[in-house]
């Protein structure tokens, strides 16, 4: 077990299910003390905070429902706070700048412990932007999803799998991964944040990042369809294995 500093918040309630099967990664531009202060003001919480120096703070017991996901949907399921554990990362750039090695190493250790303990399927290791694509940009385009997947936390694609998928409709492919496509532009941009970060436009400030979650008319370029299909194959295959 990695060292965890307890700073419990009285902002939680009971889960309405016995099964914890999601891990949601967030980021905030504040350090832990400021983050906790803001959480108290806004009546929200997460289970953990990890600072840039790798320090880990626990705010809510994993047995309880922290209020971190908000209005959210993944693979057709909503009210995701009931099923998930939330981890906030301190990121002064809101995920536009590179995360520190110490922070990611701490996240890997903690995430692996959580995934192993609850047997969380890797297709349910997601970012806040994945489950709330219209509202949230975090953990941002600089979050190292590929590296995390290589270390056993989350999934990544193999482009060679694209030919195994006959479906070509972008909305259907995003649905196969797990995205809510009621706003296709938002879902497509969230997919880029996770898998094609070079398509995410850098913004000048944290406020801009928060206020401009996605371009309203965004459409995924056709050249990226093979990546989308390869991701759909990987997520569908993993889902079938666990189903």
Q: Give the whole-angstrom CA distance, residue 243 versus residue 240.
A: 5
The pLDDT of residue 241: 63
pLDDT, tens only, 167-214: 999 999 999 999 999 999 999 999 999 999 999 999 999 999 999 999
The domain ranges of the chain are: 5-242
In this predicted structure, the answer to whether residue 33 has a pLDDT above a threshold of 70 is yes
pLDDT, tens only, 64-94: 999 999 999 999 999 999 999 999 999 999 9
Active-site residue set: 88
Overall average pLDDT of the 51-67 stretch:
97
Overall average pLDDT of the 34-46 stretch:
97
In this predicted structure, the answer to whether residue 163 has a pLDDT above a threshold of 90 is yes
Q: Spell out the SS3 assignment of the chain.
A: CCCCEECCCCCEEECCCCCCCEEEEEEECCCHHHHHHHHHHHCCCCCEEECCCCCEEECCCCCEEECCCCCCEECCEECHHHCEEEEEEECCCCCCCCCCHHHHHHHHHHHHHHHHHHCCCHHHEEEHHHHCCCCCCCCCCCCCHHHHHHCCCCCCCCHHHHHHCCCCCHHHHHHHHCCCCCCHHHHHHHHHHHHCHHHCCCCCCHHHHHHCCCCCCCCCCHHHHHHHHHHHHHHHHHHHHHC
Q: Give the whole-angstrom CA distance, residue 117 versus residue 203.
A: 38
Bridge partners, residue 6, by sequence: 58
The pLDDT of residue 238: 82
In this predicted structure, the answer to whether residue 152 has a pLDDT above a threshold of 90 is yes
In this predicted structure, the answer to whether residue 243 has a pLDDT above a threshold of 60 is no
Domain 5-242: homologous superfamily in CATH: Peptidoglycan recognition protein-like (3.40.80.10)
Q: How far apart are the first and last CA of the chain?
A: 30
Sign for the CA dihedral angle at 19, 23, 28, 30 comes to positive
The pLDDT of residue 17: 85
- Say what the pTM is: 0.97
In this predicted structure, the answer to whether residue 24 has a pLDDT above a threshold of 90 is yes
In this predicted structure, the answer to whether residue 1 has a pLDDT above a threshold of 90 is no
pLDDT, tens only, 115-137: 999 999 999 999 999 999 999 99
Work out the percent of the chain whose per-residue pLDDT is above 90.
94
In this predicted structure, the answer to whether residue 240 has a pLDDT above a threshold of 90 is no
The pLDDT of residue 153: 98
Q: Give the whole-angstrom CA distance, residue 123 versus residue 121.
A: 5
Task: Judge residue 124's burial from the number of C-beta atoms within 10 Å of its C-beta, 0-12 exposed, 13-18 middle, 19 or more buried.
Answer: buried
In this predicted structure, the answer to whether residue 18 has a pLDDT above a threshold of 90 is no
Bridge partners, residue 64, by sequence: 14
Sign for the CA dihedral angle at 192, 193, 198, 201 comes to positive
């Amino acid at each position: 077990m990695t060292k965890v500093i307890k700073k419990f918040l009285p902002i939680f309630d009971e889960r309405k299910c016995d099964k914890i099967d999601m891990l949601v990664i967030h980021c905030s531009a504040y350090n832990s003390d400021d983050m906790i202060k803001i959480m108290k003001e806004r009546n929200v919480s997460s289970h953990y905070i990890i600072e840039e120096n790798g320090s880990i703070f626990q705010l809510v017991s994993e047995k309880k429902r922290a209020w971190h996901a908000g209005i959210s949907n993944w693979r057709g399921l909503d009210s995701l706070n009931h099923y998930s554990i939330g981890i906030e990362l301190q990121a002064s750039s809101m995920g536009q700048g590179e995360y520190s090695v110490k922070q990611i190493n701490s996240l890997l250790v903690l995430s692996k412990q959580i995934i192993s303990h609850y047997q969380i399927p890797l297709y349910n290791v997601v970012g806040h932007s994945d489950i709330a694509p219209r509202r949230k940009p975090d953990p941002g385009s600089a979050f190292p999803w590929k590296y995390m997947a290589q270390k056993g936390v989350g999934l990544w694609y193999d482009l060679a799998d694209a030919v195994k998928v006959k479906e070509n409709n972008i909305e259907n492919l995003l649905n196969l991964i797990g995205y809510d496509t009621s706003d296709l532009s938002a879902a497509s941009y969230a997919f880029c944040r996770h898998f094609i970060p070079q398509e995410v436009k850098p913004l000048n400030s944290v406020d801009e990042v928060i206020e401009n979650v996605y371009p309203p008319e965004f459409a995924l370029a056709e050249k990226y369809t093979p990546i989308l299909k390869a991701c759909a194959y990987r997520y569908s295959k993993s889902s079938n294995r666990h189903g």
